[in-house]
Amino acid sequence: MSQTIKILPPTLADKIAAGEVVQRPAAAVKELIENSIDAQANSITVIIKDGGKSFIQVVDDGTGMSPEDASLAFARHATSKISTYEDLENIRTMGFRGEALASIAAVSLVEMRTRQHSDEIGTRVRVEGGAVLETSEVATNPGTSITVRNLFFNTPGRRNFLKGDNTEYKHIYDVIQRVAISHPNLSMRFVSDGEDILQLHPSTSQERLRELFGEKLEQSLFAFREETELAVISGYLGKPEFARKGRTEQYIFLNNRYVLNRSISHAVFQAYENLLEKGSFPMFVVFLTIDPHRVDVNVHPSKMEVKFADESSMYRFILASVRKALSAHDLIPAVGMRESSSNSEVTAVQFAMRTSASGDRARKWEELLQKADHALQPADDKRTAETELSLKHVDSMFTEGNTLTKSPSRIESPTTPGWVPSLWQVHSKYIIVPTQDGLMIVDQHAAHERVLFERAIARFSETNTKSQQLLFPHTIQLTAGDAALLQQLLHFLERLGFSLKLFGKTTVIVDGVPIDVRPGNEGTILQELLDLYKEDDHNLKLEPREKLAKSFSCKAAIKAGDPLKEAEMRSLLDQLFATEIPYSCPHGRPVVIKLSLSELDRRFGRTS
């Protein structure tokens, strides 16, 4: 069978190319809106019918086109935006390929009305299936209005491929929403089947988010910004406690263009590592601004995919910036604990309470209590045993041979002079903490794990190692695999506080352990640590350093079943709320569960 190669007739080539740019009505809407933005519009109106299948109209108040430009606009590769290859490297406008209008016109019936502000009269152009039917003068408002009817009328394959009206509508809504987020100063109106869907006035970026997502969601976000020579990153990050099951709204804009880029998304997401439970996702809106030379947006006709010149530094920059923002943000819950002495050191718990958004009422209550304390107490009796425990004692708390014995916690009434809210340990597992608006339940193991994890991470970058020398060194026999792993981690283990001597290939002598290791645990901790490290190998993305810190904190932390004295609980809480991320353990499990009074009232059927 002989084959003949045929050059495609131009109209067919156009139809094929059109399919790449305009896959569905939403893509046409996106291109038309981008053109309006490029034309410096302040106001854009989008009107659709039947999910955009039968009717799309985009009206702007931008520059408009001269009669000459108007008749050229529908020719393929007609663009006013680039003319040289250098321009292509330095793209700052939304469109640049000069194929959007041609592609849309190839597969629909288009009518354009346009007028430059300085011109008296406008131009009307009608195109059907790519052929210009008419160019004439018309009286019209300054700016441009483009109407697209019967999309894909001449490509039934495409048309049949479209989803139901609701689905196509949703895609268009998403396109408009993305533009609305990244261009808060733009007036936008969206009408679908005669119904007003959006009516947005120029505003700040935060206002815009509130209008689009509602007050509640806006409150679950906080703003951040980071600037380096490489790039500027800014936007809004969802607080971890508002993360939802399943993917939520995640927006990434590169030079104000909505983009899909796995690497950026992953970097943002990775920064939330250890903050979220498995399967829950944070909302975020991230704006990246970088020199256009460092990024290639000409990867795909939809211009949504981008490639970076230096993907890995970009990744690290984003990861570090988001991490920093998350840890700098006040993620500490309100804790209604106080010390009896007004001149005692401010503990981390108190600090947490004071800096949290607890409101004036709580602060007044606090003042009242302190005044009462002062009046009721003899001056030299102001320090209770609990107040002696401050962060200074933290390190010794679980390490200097403190035996963990059971002691029933006192229940004190708030009227007792020097009252310090009691803590209760239940089932040698959880600590109940009264707070100013309810109570908090803390998982003691998870809490200590979080404390030790952050301390371990800090140790890796410290120069002086803190180690407890053992009077009786332990000799451990390792498997060949474990010995190899030990070699690989040796540097980090030493930083952590292990003092190890290797004999032969598989014998190791432990003559010092990190100070956080509890008495009785010195002989087994190393082997336990290695075992857990190996188990955690699904987490390939983590650096060995973090994995090691995770394994160590898990194994060295107090366990469920360890009874704690009140002083120990208090110290643990102080340490916990001094960490950067007290809400979740290094494995992402929650550390603290809060139960508010209003929740309790609701459950008991009290209505106030």
DSSP 477: E
The Cα 50–Cα 249 span in angstroms is 25
β-sheet bridge partners, residue 113 = 124, 145
Residue-wise DSSP of 304-365? -B-EETTHHHHHHHHHHHHHHHHHHS--PPP-----S-TTSPPPHHHHHHHHSS--HHHHHH
Question: From the DSSP assignment, how many helices (H) and strands (E) are in the chain?
Answer: 20, 24
Place of tokens 């008749």: 71
The Cα 429–Cα 422 span in angstroms is 16
Answer yes or no whether residue 35 interacts with Mg ion by CB under 5 A: yes
Report what 273 binds from Mg ion, ligand ADP, none; CB cut-off 5-8 Å by kind: none
Tell me the residue number closest to Mg ion, measured at CB. 95
The Cα 473–Cα 499 span in angstroms is 10
For 284, the enclosing helix (H) or strand (E) is strand 284-290
Residue-wise DSSP of 306-323? -EETTHHHHHHHHHHHHH
Q: How far is the CB of 65 from ligand ADP (least distance, A)?
A: 5
Q: How far is the CB of 436 from ligand ADP (least distance, A)?
A: 56
Q: How far is the CB of 172 from Mg ion (least distance, A)?
A: 17
Report what 98 binds from Mg ion, ligand ADP, none; CB cut-off 5-8 Å by kind: ligand ADP
Residues 188-227 that bind Mg ion (CB under 5 A): none
> Quick one: 296 or 494, whose CB is closer to ligand ADP?
296
Place of tokens 């401050």: 390
- Binding residues for Mg ion, rule CB under 5 A, total 3
Q: Are 93 and 87 in contact (CB under 8 A)?
A: no
Contact with Mg ion (CB under 5 A) among 25, 64, 95, 130 = 95
Q: How far is the CB of 158 from ligand ADP (least distance, A)?
A: 19
Report what 417 binds from ligand ADP, Mg ion, none; CB cut-off 5-8 Å by kind: none
> Quick one: 22 or 394, whose CB is closer to ligand ADP?
22
> Quick one: 60 or 566, whose CB is closer to ligand ADP?
60
Question: What single-letter amino acid sits at 481?
Answer: G
Report what 14 binds from ligand ADP, Mg ion, none; CB cut-off 5-8 Å by kind: none
Q: How far is the CB of 79 from ligand ADP (least distance, A)?
A: 3
CB within 8 Å of 360: residues ≥ 6 apart: none
> Quick one: 31 or 165, whose CB is closer to Mg ion?
31
> Quick one: 79 or 571, whose CB is closer to ligand ADP?
79
Report what 36 binds from Mg ion, ligand ADP, none; CB cut-off 5-8 Å by kind: ligand ADP
Sheet containing 231-238, strands listed edge to edge, beginning at the edge strand earlier in sequence: 221-227, 231-238, 284-290, 250-254, 257-258
Report what 60 binds from Mg ion, ligand ADP, none; CB cut-off 5-8 Å by kind: ligand ADP
Binding site for ligand ADP (CB under 6 A): 31, 35-36, 39, 60, 62-65, 69, 73, 78-81, 95-102, 144
Report what 450 binds from Mg ion, ligand ADP, none; CB cut-off 5-8 Å by kind: none
Report what 62 binds from ligand ADP, Mg ion, none; CB cut-off 5-8 Å by kind: ligand ADP
Helix, coil or strand: residue 465 = coil
Q: How far is the CB of 255 from ligand ADP (least distance, A)?
A: 16
> Quick one: 82 or 490, whose CB is closer to ligand ADP?
82
Secondary structure percentages of the chain, helix, strand, coil, to 5: 40, 25, 40
Answer yes or no whether residue 100 interacts with Mg ion by CB under 5 A: yes
Given the rule CB under 5 A, which of 28-36, 308-316, 383-391, 405-413 is the region that contacts Mg ion?
Answer: 28-36
Sign of CA dihedral 247, 252, 258, 259: negative
Question: What single-letter amino acid sits at 221?
Answer: L
> How is residue 83 written in tokens?
């003319």
> Quick one: 35 or 321, whose CB is closer to Mg ion?
35
The Cα 361–Cα 597 span in angstroms is 15
> How is residue 592 written in tokens?
């603290």
Report what 347 binds from ligand ADP, Mg ion, none; CB cut-off 5-8 Å by kind: none
β-sheet bridge partners, residue 481 = none
> Quick one: 18 or 73, whose CB is closer to ligand ADP?
73
> Quick one: 144 or 425, whose CB is closer to ligand ADP?
144
Exposed, middle or buried, 564 (CB in 10 Å: 0-12/13-18/19+)? buried
> Quick one: 41 or 322, whose CB is closer to ligand ADP?
41
Q: How far is the CB of 39 from ligand ADP (least distance, A)?
A: 3
Q: Which of 67, 41, 63 is nearest to 121 (CA)?
A: 67
Residues 541-580 that bind Mg ion (CB under 5 A): none
Q: How far is the CB of 159 from ligand ADP (least distance, A)?
A: 22
Place of tokens 């970058």: 461
Report what 374 binds from Mg ion, ligand ADP, none; CB cut-off 5-8 Å by kind: none
> Quick one: 69 or 273, whose CB is closer to ligand ADP?
69
Binding interface with Mg ion (CB under 5 A) = 35, 95, 100
